[in-house]
Structure 1
């Protein structure tokens, strides 16, 4: 068979194809075809090349922001402490004598001046003691024929010689001495007798002995009179002690020098511990009142030892308490010279004025304080709202024309209206304070007026 004849021979059917109908050899249609077309439509765009980034971020709509100028200020450096505001003075009063409470003059919260009466005890028995002591002294003075006990500066010898009984005895002794001298001279001239001289000499010895006895009795009576005078004063003091008064302090001069005479020294009753009709004893003592001086207050606080070179007496202190939303100004008065080995701190004492009735701080309040140790110049501060913190990094945004520039910063002291920052910032730069949460470094901005 030639090649040409072979080309014209009918092709041999594939196995099994002889059993297919002609209509079965057409392409399939229906749900399968639709699914295939949907897959092709999804695959073709995914394989298409992506469009190049042509600065779509830079062309985004500007973010509206507000700004404030960055200024350099003088900022005081402080040491933070906490402590308790104690009263300037605190005293607990107890009667010095026994007795039943007759009247209570003051109660909790009352203002009391030094020397003012707080409590009275029944003084009937003490008045009787005074009367008995006075009568005994008067009897002793009558023996000495004196109107009053001489003072301690009087010469006791001269005083005893002035006692009438002593004066009479001395006159009698002198008379006996004169008679003895007269009889002795008479005997020497041959007159008189030795018996007369002996009698007169004996009389002189008796007179001298009587004088010494009277002087001794007068001296003893004088000492006893002074003892009775002391007993009378003691009885009078016990009578005075039936009235409990606010202490009269010796610190008034120092108080006036520190605060001025226009501020009176006054106590406040912090606690009353007794009632009318109650029996109180001097031993064991029964406390009846606790008084405090509320102006100024004393802040006692512990400072870490690392601040020892910085804290000095006379430094200003800003004190805050929970009761008032404002600081109180104080002054460091005392600094402990040693460090507590248990907690490695040293104590400070701060005077805090407390005489304004509008801002009266109760003693015992917990306080936070800032001791102003020095002041640093050219310190940069920003509003707290200007800070942005993400992933442990704190930064601010600076308005540089119509762009925002991110600047990492380190944060220092904080206050309600400002935060100390340091970084690559210059005074006069505009710090973004709102809208910065929508910004990125280099983003476009629009500064709102």
Structure 2
């Protein structure tokens, strides 16, 4: 009966068999111990029984340790499998930018002075030749009068000296000095006249006032931008900052699609017209400019997104579903590969780039390898799988 219980314990691991076996073992040990003490040789015989008791006690533990991994490895797990292959990928570079006039010109006065009037506000449309702003010409007019008076005096002096020089009463050096003084006076008159002429600021072309930086009564230095004019005749462009890794892949003439949030009519076809040769020192990005077609709804400052499709890779790249990756670390991760015996093994891969649903990888995989894309949490190296859906 004892052997039957032990056989049942090992073969079926049934709870009732285990409890029955434990009860029989307890009775057996107690009876043997009692007999040993009665015979006067308890310790030696009990000592010889200890290994047997230890082996019996360890039997369930050993049996459990052997059966658990065997079940995990031999269980067949249904999984989805993806066949790795090289894909001819066409990457798209997306960047956010703004609409601008091709020429946005800062306008200022060539002389210092006080602002007398500013005739336009930001957003106003102006025509070529329109007076935009003017300086107070009170001091400028006084300078012209002073310069003219000095020129008249220098001319009178020159005429007197020339007459004396012709009669031989003065030296040639004296004559040349008077002549030089007259020329200097003429130059000062022209300078004062130029300052008077530049006291008015005119629109160089049709356009829109983008910025007004001055107010009447304000004193400004020469060259300070008073207004910024977006020249309408120059057309519109779209400017975006792009990181250096992407900028090196772009070329002038590449096609792009510009999506303007405030224009629901759809993307606008554009081409790259200019790429800065130097990165912005603050951001490290290169400004890329796209030429836009004429559109009456375009406004400087509108925000949009440029999408540039790069040429497809000639060699192709290994592309796998993102769901196949696990144990991801910096720049690398693991995948399960299915072998010819439908068992899985781990393989390390290097992550090159991420897309919406796929990962571009290198190393560790070859075209034709089959990788698991679902049920990864139930698998261990050596697990047996059954393909329920295969994709490529």
Query: TM-score, normalization: structure 2?
Result: 0.47
Q: Specify the structure having the higher radius of gyration (Cα).
A: 1
Query: TM-score, normalization: structure 1?
Result: 0.42
